[in-house]
A and B are shown apart, each in its own frame.
Chain A
Amino acid sequence: MKSRRIPGKGIFALAFWLGVWALVAAAVDRELLFPGPAAVARRLAALAGEGLFWRVTAVSLLRIICGAAAGILGGVLLALGTDRSRLLDALFAPLMGVIQAVPVASFILLVLIWVGRDILPTVIVFLMVLPVVWSNMSEGLRSADRDLLELAQVCGFSRWKTARLVYGPSIAPYFLSACRACLGLAWKSGVAAEVLTVPAQAIGRELYEAKLYMNTADLFAWTAVVAVCSLVIEYILDAAIVRLGRRRGMGGDGA
């Protein structure tokens, strides 16, 4: 069944929920407890005028992106290793399961014992992203078409050519789907780590201090910053997935 496209659906939804937010804020009528969208927008505009706002956002973004990139790279390399070696798979598969099962708060407090607070959010993001990418990539490698691998063998493809022509396109949807899944996880775990460890120049620190000093408008404004950054990166990734799907005749919705 075809889904009917509603023009301006996103704008309509945004306007609707902003309206609901404004109504609830008006009903509560106490900015300290529940600021309305106008108050938050004013605070956001004021923050955006300060150099510190951009520096804090950039540093947090960098920390989270570094952790996510390291997690993605680590996950890919580990998946390649466990795909080739049963011993590695037997060793790492349970470990990845344990990492996924442990609550992020436990990890934050544990890792805080061993690493400095400035680097901790990056380490936490790495740990959260690693098993997700590993599991998706392992699935992708397992799903590589055996018939095409035989074709590569009889055609004498080099390892690099096989990786480029057979494995790469086979696992690309899994990889992009893993990246998309990791994105929300990276932001949530990264900011949570920042809130719990309050490193210098961090969105998490700003959230913590806003809560501490009861600056609820600031709390909302910084939360909006996290959401906007996450949505922008998600949008870029989605565009890449659709583009890949269109170019290669694959499903654009990941694996």
Chain B
Amino acid sequence: MIRFENVCLSYGEKQVLSGVTLHAGPGEHIALMGHSGCGKTSLLRLAAGLVRPTAGTVACRAKRLAYAFQEPRLLPWFTAAENVNAVLDGGRADMPKARKWLAEVGLADAADALPRELSGGMAQRVNLARTLAREGDLLLLDEPLKELDEVLREDMLALLKRHAAGKTLLVTTHDMRAACALASRIYTFQEGTFVPANP
């Protein structure tokens, strides 16, 4: 589904990734771990085609991509339901579907709230609802449990696990428990590249 071959990435003078080789087949779940700023997000951005590698290749065969950014990136002029609806293909007719996704993340009552009226945790859940609503065959989740309290983390973890089944997943996290729950393979950052944590 997605293959990184000897990928290097630099931002100006700063080398972020060097020689990353990683392959995620259909239905495989991979967690990327490492300290803040090590290049986890950059790898997801490479997978999504938002940045190009300085060297090496990224081959992605996903038909439909679903990307949860680390920060919610909600359209500030739309309600929570409209934000979810924006990624659906049916236009206004898909509003009930959007509301259903919000109900899945426990935000049925906040469907008509504007992003500025949501707490950080609520906005993050709208972000997750929007990502899952995309129903992509490749899920890229960048610290999906950020801003969530312990109870919500458990709920969202269960939800993500359920909806990621059968799909390819690349998830970044600092939480070893979440990584173990979501992924079958865990990679950690070492000297510019990601290496298997449990070879």
| Chain A residues near B (Cβ < 8 Å) | 147-148, 150-151, 153-157, 165-166, 169, 248-250
| Chain B residues near A (Cβ < 8 Å) | 48-50, 64-65, 67, 69, 71, 73, 75-78, 86-87, 114, 116, 134
Note all chain B residues with C-beta closer than 8 A to A148.
73, 75
Top 3 closest pairs, chain A to chain B, by CB: A248-B77, A169-B77, A154-B67
Complex partner residue of A165 from B64, B69, B75, B116, CB under 8 angstroms: B75
Using a Cβ cutoff of 8 Å, how many contacts connect chains A and B? 40
Note all chain A residues with C-beta closer than 8 A to B69.
147, 150-151
CA distance A182 to B183 in the complex (A): 58
The B contact surface, by secondary structure, is loop
Contacts A147-B69, A155-B86; is A250 near B77 (CB within 8 Å)? Answer: yes
A154 (CB) vs chain B CBs: closest residue:
B67
A59 CB to closest chain B CB (Å) equals: 39
Note all chain A residues with C-beta closer than 8 A to B49.
153-154
Taking a contact as CB atoms under 8 Å apart, the answer to whether B75 and A249 are in contact is no
Note all chain B residues with C-beta closer than 8 A to A155.
67, 86-87, 134
CA distance A157 to B86 in the complex (A): 9
CA distance A238 to B50 in the complex (A): 39
Contacts A154-B65, A248-B77; is A147 near B71 (CB within 8 Å)? Answer: yes
Complex partner residue of A147 from B65, B73, B78, B116, CB under 8 angstroms: B73
Contacts A153-B50, A154-B48, A155-B87; is A249 near B116 (CB within 8 Å)? Answer: yes
B91 (CB) vs chain A CBs: closest residue:
A161
CA distance A147 to B48 in the complex (A): 14
B116 (CB) vs chain A CBs: closest residue:
A249
